[in-house]
Amino acid sequence: MRRLPPFFALRALEAAARHRSYSRAAAELAVTHGAVSQQIRKLEAELGARLFERVGNAMAPTPEAARLAAEVARGLGVLQNAVAEFAAAAERDPLVVSVEPQFATRWLPSRLSRLLSGPAGANLELRAEEHRADFVTDGVDVAIRYGGGQWPGLETAHLFTETLIPVCSPEVAARHPIAGPQDLLAAPLVHHRHRPWSLWFEAFDLAAPPMKGQVFEDSLMLVEAAAAGLGVALARSGLIEGDLASGRLVRPLEAVVPSELGYFVVWRGDNRKLARIEALRDWLTAEAQASGGSAGCADEPT
């Protein structure tokens, strides 16, 4: 198969033949008159034929050049239609959003109707899933991840960093008055295996009690145990916003401990749905800022 001439040279030929002018072709292509003239000369040398003749003030294509220009125009039309269809598909196909399940059940539901009623929520496919999206084989366009924000090769936008907050049911708070951090040592505690109470007590220079009694692996089960009156839990702020607002959980004291982890919007920068991803990112970050990020970010130990 014969090698095709450079694409820009063919575009210069088509524009010059249609306008019968190198100058007007140059203006359309946003280059100089000399650049168009140079491309035509190169094309003539490659094809071994003269392509234009000066007729008065016009540059008239030869019959063979006019036929070639017409075929180039037809090919450009095919390319333009293909690009337009590709762009339309980016709007038509759903934006697939992978959401960490605890975020999906605790932070997102109270905001979901606002999201879906606006442009950023148009044609979304929301997936609550534990596994980490790879953005290549699973069809995911954007994810909301929990972690420290370091995911090489991906774009990220910070939503909020969590704090660790002691919470319990109103009944437990009434039975065990807690005026300061040391009072928690006498209160019944429920534990998370991977986020122990030592993180909190050590921040206030107190020795943590041993991990005994009710111990949970899952953060949501820990929150539910506290709401059921089993004791005071050290909860992630991003998971208890609704429970605090409803009074199902209370904070027996205001002191909190900062966490190094939080929630981030994550996506690939080369995704063809980038404009829609950025609209969703902007909506989520604005919503997080409007609500102060996560619950209970005041009164950290100093």
Fold identical between 95-102+120-160+262-290 and 163-260?
A: yes
The CATH number that domain 7-92 falls under is 1.10.10.10
DSSP 111: H
What are the tens digits of pLDDT across the range 185-230? Answer: 999 999 999 999 999 999 999 999 999 889 999 999 999 999 999 9
Q: Which fold has domain 163-260?
A: D-Maltodextrin-Binding Protein; domain 2 (3.40.190)
What one-letter code names the amino acid at 53?
E
Report pLDDT for 89: 66
Residue 18 backbone class (left: φ over 0; alpha: ψ -120 to 50; beta: rest): alpha
Asked if pLDDT for residue 299 goes beyond 60, the answer is no
Q: Where are the beta strands (DSSP E) in 173-253?
A: 189-192, 215-216, 232-236
Nearest to 191 by CA among 166, 173, 161, 169: 166
β-pair type (232-236, 155-167): antiparallel
CA 134 – CA 132 distance, rounded (Å): 6
Q: Which CATH number fits domain 95-102+120-160+262-290: 3.40.50.970, 3.40.190.10, 2.130.10.10, 3.50.50.60?
A: 3.40.190.10
Domain boundaries, the chain: 7-92, 95-102+120-160+262-290, 163-260
Pair type for strands 58-61 and 215-216 = unpaired
State the pTM of this model.
Answer: 0.68
What pLDDT does 81 receive?
Answer: 79
